[in-house]
Amino acid sequence: MDFLNHYLLSILIFVPTIGAALVLFAKGRDAVRWTALGTTIVTFILSLMLFITFNWKTSGPYAYAQYDAKTGEYVANSGVVQMVQSCDWIPAFNVQYKLGIDGLSFPLIVLTTFVCVLACIASWNIEKQLKGYMALFLFLETGILGVFLSLDFFLFYVFFEISLLPMYFLIGIWGGPRKEYAAIKFFLYTLVGSVGLLIVLIGTYLYSRGLPGLPNGTFDLVKLASTDVQKGLMAAGMAGVAKTFFILAMLGFLIKVPAVPVHTWLPDAHVEAPTPMSMILAAILLKLGGYGIFRIAYPLFPDAGKDLWWLFALVGVVSIIYGALCAMAQTDFKKLVAYSSVSHMGFVVLGAAMMTEASINGAQFMMIAHGVTSAMMFFVVGVVYDRAHHRELGRMGGMATTMPVYTGFSIVACFSNLGLPGLAGFIGEVMVLLGSFQAAKPDSVIMIATNGHAYPYIMTLAVIACFGVVLTAGYMLWTVQRVFFGPEKAEYKSFPEVDQRELTVLTPLAIMAVLLGILPTAFFFAYTSTTVAAMFKLLG
């Protein structure tokens, strides 16, 4: 137990790397595939072991939980961040290799390992340079888990960048016809974002130097967010640049999310990426941005967040509406799903910007729900592409009669995506919208910060956001109609029904979509609500 508590997180991060090394030495295609699959499954099981060690019931401040060696338990109400493991990396700048887990990262980690297993199965029919593909894929998993688990800003940044490299190759080598363009575009956009983040990283650190108790400064994200350090930072002069830093940090994360107007890399990347990588990209990689917003941007610069709520609420609402409208206009099935990602991630940005407990909870849920749903959607697109070798919506139709099982799964995915009650997508959207309207209540964070002047703007933005739901329903239903219904087409008559492998991918995703929709508390909020409450206290 103690061992798990101390080392599980590190093991979790580096098991995929070891797997990648093993893959490179594996002989034969099947050996490579099974090694990779084995690695992802082991990682998934390890992440499930977090259910044993992670104590989500403890409610407390956003701080490190104290560990009682005598009882082998965490002291109740001492803090929500647990399983902390740290050692010095660069003493000169007080950079630490510091890992930990709380309600914010826990669901995302399980989502990552879960989707990676399915993406690995989805990769079974990759033929070209299989070894390199699997190695890069596993290396990518390391990078992503590293981002979610690191509690040191510096370490976070390093993993954030590391997760870039493999994706470039995965899109660039195994992608579609315009893969080179898509890959470099993805890389350039994200690098612009991380370059801004680098300024925030260094700037925040320099202000933290010389604060009481921190002669050497700190990159510790939990410490930097604590009330004392925040006060010290502001007194040390960060108040003057907090807004700039906040915008730079948000820019870095919004590019990753992606939000309008910095979203244009996403449709290209998605259309060109191979199906499993689209799954990873939509389900997990975008969440790095969302996670960064909640872990770094708002806790470190809460006041700037209050002042600039309108800017990012606007960005969120524009993303929701513009993304949905763009999706409606697409003729390429995959591009449509890509734009629907932009629209859905807009809810995450809106939820963060509105700064109410409900909206933040909703945004968190949205990330997981979107993770499950979008992975499923992209796989659905992949299945039909494997058979038809095109993704033109106009040429499709009548799949329901030739592939009934496939159609059933697809409709679950589509309905979850459009937010049908009872499926995952619904809860997130409703919570975010509910939270947005709550922000107009006189005791909300934003209303207090703006002396109530924000009321009409909040209401306007929230009402506009509601229309996003309608638009989503519109394009999703239209898509279902165009692809699955209508008269049976001769060219699709010979299509085989989904095979065993494809079912293996679709079934767990469908089950999760339903479970998250019916039992959101048991499958999500139970683990996160205490952390969100603790973080919310920092904002207020």
Partner 1 sequence: MLRKRMMILSLASIGLPFIPGWTELRPFIAELTLIGTIVAVLLTPFFVKKSNTACGLVALAGLVIALLSLLYVQYVSPDAGLQATKFAPMLVADPIAFLWKILLLVFVIGVIMMWFATSAADMHEGDGPEFFVLLLGATTGMALMASANNLLMILLAVELASFPSYVLAGFRKTNKTDAEASLKYVLFGAATSAVMTYGMSLLYGLYGTLNLSELASKMPATTGGTALLVVAVFGLVVGIGFKIAAVPFHFWCPDVFEGAAIEVTTFLSVASKGAALVLLLRVVNNIADAYHFNGMNGELLSAPAVIAIVLGVMGALSATLGNTAAFVQNNIKRLLAYSSIAHAGYMLCAMSLLLKAGSVTDPTSISARTILFYLAVYLFMNLGAFTVAGLVFKQTGIETLEGYAGLSRRNPVLAVCMAAFMFSFVGLPPLAGFFAKFNILMALIQTGGWWWLLVVVILINTVLSLYFYMRVVRSMFLLNSDQPAFMGNPLGVAVSLMCAIMLVVMFVGYSPLNKLTENYGRMHFTAVPSVNAAAPAVSMAK
Q: Can you give the binding site for partner 1, defined by CB under 8 A?
A: 88-92, 129, 132, 157-158, 161-162, 164-165, 168-169, 172-173, 179-180, 183-184, 187-188, 191-192, 195-196, 198-199, 202-203, 206
Q: How far is the CB of 284 from partner 1 (least distance, A)?
A: 19
Chain Cα centroid distance, residue 92: 33
Residue nearer to partner 1 on the CB measure, 192 or 518: 192
Q: How far is the CB of 98 from partner 1 (least distance, A)?
A: 15
Chain Cα centroid distance, residue 389: 29
The CB density around residue 500, as the number of other CB atoms within 10 Å, is: 6
Residue nearer to partner 1 on the CB measure, 90 or 448: 90
**Residues pairing with 96 in the sheet:** 88
Judging by DSSP bridges, how do beta strands 82-90 and 73-74 pair with one another? Answer: unpaired
Judging by DSSP bridges, how do beta strands 73-74 and 67-68 pair with one another? Answer: antiparallel
**Residues pairing with 227 in the sheet:** none
Token pair recorded at residue 257: 């999310």
Q: Is 72 left (phi over 0), alpha (psi -120 to 50) or beta?
A: left
Residue nearer to partner 1 on the CB measure, 160 or 339: 160
Distance in angstroms (rounded) separating the CA atoms of residues 352 and 193: 19
Q: How far is the CB of 16 from partner 1 (least distance, A)?
A: 15
Token pair recorded at residue 54: 């992670």
Residue nearer to partner 1 on the CB measure, 154 or 525: 154
Distance in angstroms (rounded) separating the CA atoms of residues 326 and 340: 8
Residue nearer to partner 1 on the CB measure, 4 or 198: 198
In the numeric block, the tokens 């506009």 are attached to 464
Q: How far is the CB of 90 from partner 1 (least distance, A)?
A: 5
Token pair recorded at residue 536: 């919310």
Separation in Å, CA 347 to CA 81, 461, 466:
26, 12, 10
Residue nearer to partner 1 on the CB measure, 131 or 370: 131
Residue nearer to partner 1 on the CB measure, 58 or 150: 150
Residue nearer to partner 1 on the CB measure, 184 or 503: 184
Residue nearer to partner 1 on the CB measure, 24 or 538: 24
The half-sphere exposure of 499 on its side-chain side, counting CA atoms within 13 A, is: 10
DSSP 8-state assignment for residue 263: -
Q: How far is the CB of 137 from partner 1 (least distance, A)?
A: 15
Distance in angstroms (rounded) separating the CA atoms of residues 2 and 222: 23
Question: Which helix (DSSP H) or strand (DSSP E) does residue 375 occupy?
Answer: helix 357-388
Tell me how far apart the 2 most distant CA atoms of the chain are, in Å.
Answer: 75
Name the phi and psi angles at 347, rounded to 5. Answer: -60, -35
3 state SS of 493: coil
Residue nearer to partner 1 on the CB measure, 132 or 397: 132
Q: How far is the CB of 354 from partner 1 (least distance, A)?
A: 31
Q: How far is the CB of 193 from partner 1 (least distance, A)?
A: 10
Q: How far is the CB of 129 from partner 1 (least distance, A)?
A: 8
3 state SS of 461: helix
DSSP per residue over 377-415, as a string?
HHHHHHHHHHHHS--BGGG---HHHH-HHHHHHHHHHHH
SS3 content of the chain, % helix, strand, coil (to 5): 75, 5, 20
Distance in angstroms (rounded) separating the CA atoms of residues 516 and 423: 7
Helical segments of 236-356, H only: 242-256, 265-272, 275-280, 286-292, 298-300, 302-307, 309-329, 333-354
Q: Which residues have CB under 8 Å from 383's CB, separation 6+?
A: 406, 498, 502
Residue nearer to partner 1 on the CB measure, 174 or 339: 174
Residue nearer to partner 1 on the CB measure, 161 or 307: 161
Q: How far is the CB of 491 from partner 1 (least distance, A)?
A: 31
Residue nearer to partner 1 on the CB measure, 199 or 464: 199
Q: How far is the CB of 77 from partner 1 (least distance, A)?
A: 36
Q: How far is the CB of 199 from partner 1 (least distance, A)?
A: 7
Q: How far is the CB of 111 from partner 1 (least distance, A)?
A: 24
Q: How far is the CB of 89 from partner 1 (least distance, A)?
A: 7
